[in-house]
Structure 1
């Protein structure tokens, strides 16, 4: 077993502390990123360009590993004011002459440098050490990460808290702190870490190219057997996880206790594949076959076998989820468009729930805060699926599903008939790609960005009139169109790269706005202490960009998302003791909006027609109806209204046996798919509180209702 010192040196990428000879020349020691110096020296000593295939072959690394190392090295080069390693499309990678000269003069034969890991990276590396059975101590952590003992204590406490949530514990022994807990829990942590494409673990797994190719080939065989195909990111994660997994279970102590095989109709094909795959790798353990089959099924798919019995059961549930989302949000998402995409996602969600493999979204806080309206509506919409799995989804799972609705809403809102200026390509699926696309649209509202494209979609895309490609994955194209590569969640450096690329493509006058931002910050700093410089910068940049955004053709008194208090003043509240029918209730609900010329008289009649045709689908439950139609049905401005009738009204429609009683009708006049979501989500939080609804129904006037609405 390695000592901790040798292990942590390996973690830091320090393979040999003495100068190494490469092709008769001294090695350059510029970075401690694992394999980083190998890559630099290969490029320095190569007379011409190096293709990606050459780098993979020479270094024995995966494509993802190469990209990770290039990103880390280029970040260091930028910090040192050196030109980055460049890639010429269709030719290959090279180090610019000035950079090469500096590296040879200053870093040839020098001692390796110490990398400054982030806290998150340090904690992942510590956990990786523990899982791979290397004891750790505070003194060693402080020394080898070059941090204070206080920082080492903080890191270790963070590790303990994270591992506790996985059912694991860090215990003290005579040789140092070690990990205690179930083997499966340790493996699940590794899989979760690898699901983050920027995880430092990708630089720690020793890559055997021939084995990696063999694993990838076998997974593709499984795809053909099941008809379910994995996303690019899921496939890459599976490749490297299985590579690590096979190495780990060479030690019998790391294998699960063998037990009789347990299969069901929904996982038999993957289990049978796992049995053969492990047998070919000299592992004959049914428990391990069962484990691997479960992991395979919980990975994200991009295409599924529509004839599969399970997916056939999920399809109608997806449609019901979309209907519920539309009913509660006032949106008009087409079930036909989202059914397949959502069902494809829910298939892996089903397996994660069935096999109790938790999913942790690395950007949960950003999603729940930045897209809280979507999150609230999705949490209501997914109840049919929760009933199907007989359980509740975690907030992480709900956040991921919410982004599917967000992507579809954004698609509906995109300008019709216009060719995008910029293509956005993302390999990680709709979740993070939606965040990237939303941030691009918010920062640059006058630029038309495409919906996120997969690599397959990109290869089949018409590139006519495209001025720039923004991608989270390296793409091979001879189009001649400028391309920038960024993280799905761009860093400050990434935003700088994007801004320069947009200026070079003549799509943005960012220089003017940046100058204005800097001037405003200078003024603000004279009168107030700036606590969050980056947040203020982003807010000012967004404001200046938004000022030049064309006005909506329909008039509206509010820009962007609007609060509940502004959309639902007391003048829009109707109180009634008794009404003749549910149709009359809808007409009365819309009357305040009609009187203020927010909707046309035909709008209420369209809602009545929709209810007669489709049944009481707008009833949310608990006697509450969200009455709405589409913006094209007579909406002139954004607005909301509310009616409370003391005597319940029954909604009876021809051809629909369900009878729903209503006492509260919320009237919604949406201008588009999104501008009303903030106010509506505020109201949704209230009406999901049974105590608040009970008080609402006991109200005796519009004033009472208004006061309830104003309560936090």
Structure 2
């Protein structure tokens, strides 16, 4: 027996693998350790991190065969860690904070000495950790209070459960090592959830299903204590999906819990989890479908993109179903990359925030920026897909459990880190199994892939940490997947220079090292010199493109013609582009009117656009758009003419303009302007 780690189940894993003379499947490891699939992956990952830190080869997984410990590692473990004293596990600050909150929620009283002894940290570090935990709990309506026997948690039972659920949504959360897994109960829970899926026709993504399994396992143990149960409600009527509630009542009854409030709670949790397939005949999803289409139309209108409603409608509706329940039951979603998306993908976020208003009207509330950021990734993925469908070559496949959700977060981060490497759209396992792999150089997956292929596979978290990025970078270097920032001539030139002054012992190794170094240097950000020049909006919308009309124009068609006149004069567009906009408005009604008297007049690049351009017309006398075929009438006072050259080149300027348009005070100011100079000043 060896004692290498203090990670829960870690030594059990190593000792089991040490006794095996052949490969071990994941199912065998799950059974041996008594853990869920996710819990087993967690232990494997943490043990491999410690092996790597100890300069030992990690536990390997031979695709399609199983797990094994390399022979050299076996020898080292048996020689150095047999019958040794337990080692202290090293936790990151984030992990320590999660464990502190977990202990408090599970009714442990804590003192500073408890924390310093458990984590082997100083008193000052323990105080800092407690401060961080208090700040994180505050966002859930929870607090830490001091009592005679130590520190305890204060706050509602629902809030404490919501914190646990949110923490478990992180696939790499350390909490998975804290849940005592009973394999037979876990299988029973999973079986019952699958029954619910068949009843409702709504199927959960693999990640959501795994999270539900572990959360419900913890939840059932928690409510065994009567003080943890919610007060039983005498009401038996609810407007929540009745099938989920009925399922919850029976499920809890089978577990000797007879409390309608708890059944109602579990029904809420079930419905807020992410689906990958929904029952299209369900009344609620039928209501959401047209809302999704309207959202996509608004996104296209404001962004000038050409996202196909047919391609995105079902995926977006599937996502919005769980979003609806999260908003209805006030279960917060916290996006782990919110700042990255709002800053790095500002235009995408801005357009999405405008586009989702029909859904906000439906739920009679506002979505948080975290929820908007998640929806924005769907549009970002579809814009990327449009480029891919134009015949763009793909070198790297991105694979996840369902092809939706957090996989888009991973894909967008990969694109941001490696903008010149061609990544696929996120693929589900089914899509991956049916994919042509002939020209693929690397596969990056958020899940275990048991389909044997000759292509290297890198498995990372949807939110890669530092080690994940190092693994990805190493895979790119080994696969000669550079970011196209340098050419092979640079490598050859350096090799020639080195060979003139030194003997090269390992030519291939040095070549790969130079490629990796040059690729890394190429990705270093260039130092930007401060600029006081015009913004992209000012460049695209100079004063020569702004018109103020104090004369009364007789109809809206003339208004559109007048608004786009500066673009016609400079030959940025042709007359047929103006005619196309007028025709689209006659046929489809005033769908280009954004609201608040503002119209975004635009067509597609193929309708007669010669070059990128934007114009603006302010009317002193508003005009109404109306025609006999459409009952909808809209009054307009500001017309923005947009001539997009492609899907993206106009986004920065349009995003800046959209931020202004959504400011009611700014709109009032520009409507009160009486000259081109005033309008231009307001735009700058």
Fold-level match, TM-score > 0.5? yes
Equivalent residue for 1:323, pick from 297, 321, 324 = 297
Once residues 487 and 71 of structure 2 are traced to their aligned partners in structure 1, the CA distance between those partners, rounded to angstroms, is 34
Once residues 511 and 161 of structure 1 are traced to their aligned partners in structure 2, the CA distance between those partners, rounded to angstroms, is 43
Higher alpha-carbon deviation: 578-587 or 232-241:
578-587
Aligned: 1:262 with 2:236: yes
Equivalent residue for 1:388, pick from 325, 342, 362 = 362
Residue matched to 2:664: 690
Equivalent residue for 2:544, pick from 571, 576, 588 = 571
Equivalent residue for 2:138, pick from 132, 143, 164 = 164
Residue matched to 2:604: 630
Higher alpha-carbon deviation: 54-63 or 164-173:
164-173
Equivalent residue for 1:342, pick from 293, 302, 316 = 316
Contact 2:420 2:484 in 1 (8 A): no
Deviation at 1:626, TM superposition (A): 0.7
Deviation at 1:508, TM superposition (A): 2.7
Deviations 1:631-688 (CA, angstroms, capped at 9, x unpaired): 2222233322212222212212341122222121111122322332222111111112
Q: What SS does the aligned partner of 2:312 have?
A: helix
- Shift in CA distance, 465/239, structure 1 to aligned 2, threshold 3 Å: same
- Shift in CA distance, 310/542, structure 1 to aligned 2, threshold 3 Å: farther
Residue matched to 2:631: 657
Deviation at 1:486, TM superposition (A): 1.3
Deviations 1:501-540 (CA, angstroms, capped at 9, x unpaired): 23433433689699999xxxxxxxxxxxxxxxxxxx9895
- 1:318-467 aligned at under 5 Å gives the runs 318-418=292-392, 420-427=394-401, 430-467=404-441
Deviation at 1:235, TM superposition (A): 0.3
- Shift in CA distance, 514/240, structure 1 to aligned 2, threshold 3 Å: farther
Deviation at 1:186, TM superposition (A): 1.1
Once residues 622 and 631 of structure 2 are traced to their aligned partners in structure 1, the CA distance between those partners, rounded to angstroms, is 18
Once residues 373 and 130 of structure 1 are traced to their aligned partners in structure 2, the CA distance between those partners, rounded to angstroms, is 41
- Shift in CA distance, 131/318, structure 1 to aligned 2, threshold 3 Å: same
Contact 2:418 2:483 in 1 (8 A): no
Deviations 1:461-518 (CA, angstroms, capped at 9, x unpaired): 333333321101111112322211112122333233223323433433689699999x
Once residues 483 and 200 of structure 2 are traced to their aligned partners in structure 1, the CA distance between those partners, rounded to angstroms, is 50
Higher alpha-carbon deviation: 445-454 or 302-311:
445-454
Once residues 624 and 276 of structure 1 are traced to their aligned partners in structure 2, the CA distance between those partners, rounded to angstroms, is 54
Deviation at 1:236, TM superposition (A): 0.3
Contact 1:514 1:541 in 2 (8 A): no
Deviations 1:553-598 (CA, angstroms, capped at 9, x unpaired): xxxxxxxx98212222222222222234322232233233333343
Q: CA RMSD in A?
A: 2.5
Residue matched to 2:523: 541
Once residues 161 and 347 of structure 1 are traced to their aligned partners in structure 2, the CA distance between those partners, rounded to angstroms, is 31
Q: What SS does the aligned partner of 1:163 have?
A: helix
Once residues 112 and 513 of structure 1 are traced to their aligned partners in structure 2, the CA distance between those partners, rounded to angstroms, is 52
Q: What SS does the aligned partner of 2:425 have?
A: coil
Aligned: 1:508 with 2:490: no
Higher alpha-carbon deviation: 382-391 or 127-136:
382-391
Once residues 631 and 616 of structure 1 are traced to their aligned partners in structure 2, the CA distance between those partners, rounded to angstroms, is 20
Aligned: 1:245 with 2:219: yes
Once residues 571 and 599 of structure 2 are traced to their aligned partners in structure 1, the CA distance between those partners, rounded to angstroms, is 23
Deviation at 1:415, TM superposition (A): 4.6
Contact 2:400 2:407 in 1 (8 A): yes
Deviations 1:268-312 (CA, angstroms, capped at 9, x unpaired): 111111111112112222221111111111111111111111111
Once residues 93 and 461 of structure 1 are traced to their aligned partners in structure 2, the CA distance between those partners, rounded to angstroms, is 26
Q: What SS does the aligned partner of 2:638 have?
A: strand
Equivalent residue for 2:466, pick from 466, 484, 492 = 492
Once residues 511 and 316 of structure 1 are traced to their aligned partners in structure 2, the CA distance between those partners, rounded to angstroms, is 45
Contact 2:420 2:483 in 1 (8 A): no
Deviation at 1:105, TM superposition (A): 2.4
- Shift in CA distance, 461/203, structure 1 to aligned 2, threshold 3 Å: same
Residue matched to 2:284: 310
Q: What SS does the aligned partner of 1:451 have?
A: strand
Once residues 424 and 274 of structure 1 are traced to their aligned partners in structure 2, the CA distance between those partners, rounded to angstroms, is 36
Equivalent residue for 2:197, pick from 223, 246, 271 = 223
Q: What SS does the aligned partner of 2:427 have?
A: coil
Equivalent residue for 1:86, pick from 37, 60, 73 = 60
Once residues 295 and 235 of structure 2 are traced to their aligned partners in structure 1, the CA distance between those partners, rounded to angstroms, is 35
Q: Give the alignment's TM-score, normalised by structure 2.
A: 0.90
Q: What SS does the aligned partner of 1:450 have?
A: strand
Equivalent residue for 2:11, pick from 22, 34, 37 = 37
Deviation at 1:85, TM superposition (A): 1.5
Deviation at 1:390, TM superposition (A): 1.8
Residue matched to 2:166: 192
Q: Give the alignment's TM-score, normalised by structure 1.
A: 0.86
Once residues 276 and 513 of structure 1 are traced to their aligned partners in structure 2, the CA distance between those partners, rounded to angstroms, is 65
Deviations 1:584-638 (CA, angstroms, capped at 9, x unpaired): 2322332333333433332222111111111110111111111111122222333
Q: What SS does the aligned partner of 2:426 have?
A: coil
- 5+ residue gaps, structure 1, are 1-25, 518-536, 545-560
- 5+ residue gaps, structure 2, are 492-518, 527-533
Once residues 490 and 211 of structure 2 are traced to their aligned partners in structure 1, the CA distance between those partners, rounded to angstroms, is 43
Contact 2:276 2:402 in 1 (8 A): no
Once residues 539 and 44 of structure 2 are traced to their aligned partners in structure 1, the CA distance between those partners, rounded to angstroms, is 50
- Shift in CA distance, 695/658, structure 1 to aligned 2, threshold 3 Å: same
Contact 1:196 1:362 in 2 (8 A): no
Residue matched to 1:530: none
- Shift in CA distance, 202/514, structure 1 to aligned 2, threshold 3 Å: farther
Q: What SS does the aligned partner of 1:373 have?
A: helix
Residue matched to 2:503: none
Contact 2:276 2:404 in 1 (8 A): no
Residue matched to 2:150: 176
Higher alpha-carbon deviation: 265-274 or 618-627:
265-274
- Shift in CA distance, 440/513, structure 1 to aligned 2, threshold 3 Å: farther
- Shift in CA distance, 538/591, structure 1 to aligned 2, threshold 3 Å: farther
- Shift in CA distance, 262/374, structure 1 to aligned 2, threshold 3 Å: farther
Residue matched to 1:135: 109
